[in-house]
Amino acid sequence: MFDLRCLFVSCKLMDPASLLLRLSFFGLFLILLYLYATRNFNYWKKRNIKYVKPVPFIGNLGPMITLKKNIGFFLLDMCETLKSDVFGFFAFDTPFLVVTSPKLLKNILVKDFSIFNDRIVYSPNGHPILENVMFLAKGQSWKNVRSKSSPAFTSGKLKNMFLLILKECKLLTDYIDKFVDMPNVEAKEICAKYSTNVIARCAFAVEANSFESDDAEFRKIGSRLINMKLSTAIRQTICWFSPMIVKLFGISVFEGSSVTRLSAIFKEVLHTRMNSNENTSNDLIDVLLESKKKGSELSEDFMVGSAVQFFTAGFETVSSVLSFTLYELTVNPDIQQRLRKEILKHIDENGFTYESLNAMKYLDMCVSETLRKYPTLPFLDRVCNADYKLTDEITIEKGTKIFVPLFGLHYNKELFPNPYKYDPERFADKSVINADNMLYYMPFGEGPRICIGNRFGLMGVKTALVSILSKFDLVKSDKTPEHINFDPKGIVLQSTIGIPITFKHL
């Protein structure tokens, strides 16, 4: 490395010729560094693809690095500036492609999936648990993990887990009861406690006790995993944009000590259950042990990876969708009233069952609209593994990294008129959404890599909504925000001030 201190301290003592020589070397070094950092900046121009002008060394990542925008809004801004089906940007020196055309997205995510089967996100090699985490797995290893995990998400298994979730909903409403009529109750924290309990019960076969104590271990692990600290933002940005640093420092998208602790808890429960031969709990351990008995080769690391995956992918997503729906129902009392009417009618006629939950059409419309307005994971990502003809004019190279901007699609005025309005009517006829071989509404992603937990997640959100709305009225408090602002430090959407509201008895 060029020694700057040496240059400046000793320049006074130097004769003019040596000083000139040193300055020339320094200048040359800077020029070479600049040329290296900008060597790819013609990449999109050469391919005749629109792009956002990059800045040396950081590319276009300025708004993310300075924590002004989270990745969802960073991509949305570029979509609104360039208004193009396909465009490029740069992360540091690496070119990335953004695709917004619903027809091209159908090809990438579904039709030609074999060419786009991996995500961009990097993970350190050789970690026994993370290698079994489906979201991070690549190629054949992803295929193995996905096919071994699928039996946990069949309709029959979900129906069994519904009963476990119902018990957690009773704890949820008992807890809310303690805060009735109080202003500015933090609904986001209540939702996080609930989703933590649900995942701990269904995946780890333990009671998380989040409602009993603010120090409950699972709740603490959840807070660590999803905290909005600068270090989390940096770690996550690196995992999507800088493979070299991931390899060099073994950085992972999930906070290390949380993964270690979750693994230890699951192993303990797993060993106890294997020895007791008891499997009537309808949780993930039952499903895994049943598959093993039927001859499926499931290593202990795979089983632990499945539970860690369940927690990391499920707890914050369920909590976010639930809390954003509670917020929208609070600020839209007409919609809240209509939804409550539907819920009470179904409970009155058929009781609160798995079947009656799935028959609540307006409930489904409301949750679908929440997922449009608040796509919890606001982007999808894929890597192209062969040269690929995207359109008649554009062929992309093997290795091209692609982002799908969910805000860009879900807030597109032509696809969803008046996009900032919360309007469940958009989903009155779901058959028109994504019709004609197009894909533009994808809160759970699409194609073979679609969210494997989508039906479980929806069940967790809807069961809680039915339980809450059948007992409580949601009312605005003085601190309930007019609009939600999103924390720029998170990959998953989070409100900057939580969701303060008032619960009242019906």
Residues that bind ligand HEM (CB under 6 A): 134-135, 146, 309-310, 313-314, 317-318, 321, 376-377, 380, 443-446, 449-453, 456-457, 461
Closest to ligand HEM by CB, 192 vs 321, is 321
Neighbouring C-beta atoms of residue 378, cutoff 10 Å: 25
In the complex, the smallest distance separating the C-beta of residue 390 from ligand HEM, rounded to whole angstroms, is 18
Contact 209, 191 (CB under 8 A): no
Question: In the 8-state DSSP scheme, what is residue 443?
Answer: T
At 258, list the tokens. 């949380």
In the complex, the smallest distance separating the C-beta of residue 308 from ligand HEM, rounded to whole angstroms, is 10
Contact 263, 271 (CB under 8 A): no
In the complex, the smallest distance separating the C-beta of residue 302 from ligand HEM, rounded to whole angstroms, is 13
How far from the centroid of its chain's Cα atoms is residue 120's Cα? 14
How far is residue 252's CA from residue 123's CA, in Å, rounded to a whole number? 6
* Helical axes 300-331 vs 333-350, angle rounded to 10°: 120
In the complex, the smallest distance separating the C-beta of residue 68 from ligand HEM, rounded to whole angstroms, is 23
In the complex, the smallest distance separating the C-beta of residue 340 from ligand HEM, rounded to whole angstroms, is 22
How far is residue 440's CA from residue 405's CA, in Å, rounded to a whole number? 10
In the complex, the smallest distance separating the C-beta of residue 414 from ligand HEM, rounded to whole angstroms, is 22
How far is residue 359's CA from residue 16's CA, in Å, rounded to a whole number? 86
Closest CA to 96 of 138, 37, 38, 51: 51
In the complex, the smallest distance separating the C-beta of residue 457 from ligand HEM, rounded to whole angstroms, is 3
In the complex, the smallest distance separating the C-beta of residue 369 from ligand HEM, rounded to whole angstroms, is 13
In the complex, the smallest distance separating the C-beta of residue 277 from ligand HEM, rounded to whole angstroms, is 26
Closest to ligand HEM by CB, 314 vs 500, is 314
Place of tokens 């008992």: 174
How far is residue 359's CA from residue 354's CA, in Å, rounded to a whole number? 9
Place of tokens 């949305």: 76
Closest to ligand HEM by CB, 330 vs 370, is 370
Closest to ligand HEM by CB, 122 vs 444, is 444
Closest to ligand HEM by CB, 369 vs 473, is 369
Contact 185, 193 (CB under 8 A): no
Closest to ligand HEM by CB, 98 vs 321, is 321
Closest to ligand HEM by CB, 43 vs 444, is 444
Q: Which amino acid is at 81?
A: T
Contact 252, 130 (CB under 8 A): yes
- CB neighbour list of residue 204: distance below 8 Å, 6 or more residues apart: 218, 262, 265, 266, 269, 283, 284, 307, 311
In the complex, the smallest distance separating the C-beta of residue 504 from ligand HEM, rounded to whole angstroms, is 27
How far from the centroid of its chain's Cα atoms is residue 291's Cα? 28
Closest to ligand HEM by CB, 59 vs 490, is 490
Closest CA to 189 of 223, 217, 166: 223
Neighbouring C-beta atoms of residue 50, cutoff 10 Å: 16
Closest CA to 320 of 276, 279, 378, 254: 378
Dihedral sign of CA atoms 397, 135, 457, 214 in order: negative
In the complex, the smallest distance separating the C-beta of residue 380 from ligand HEM, rounded to whole angstroms, is 4
- Could you give the dihedral angle defined by the CA atoms of residues 493, 498, 499 and 505, in that order, rounded to the nearest 10 degrees? 130
Closest to ligand HEM by CB, 41 vs 153, is 153
How long is the chain? 506
In the complex, the smallest distance separating the C-beta of residue 216 from ligand HEM, rounded to whole angstroms, is 19
Closest to ligand HEM by CB, 216 vs 439, is 439
Closest to ligand HEM by CB, 134 vs 402, is 134
Q: Which amino acid is at 139?
A: G
3-state secondary structure of 269: helix
3-state secondary structure of 395: strand
Question: In the 8-state DSSP scheme, what is residue 150?
Answer: G
Closest to ligand HEM by CB, 233 vs 442, is 442
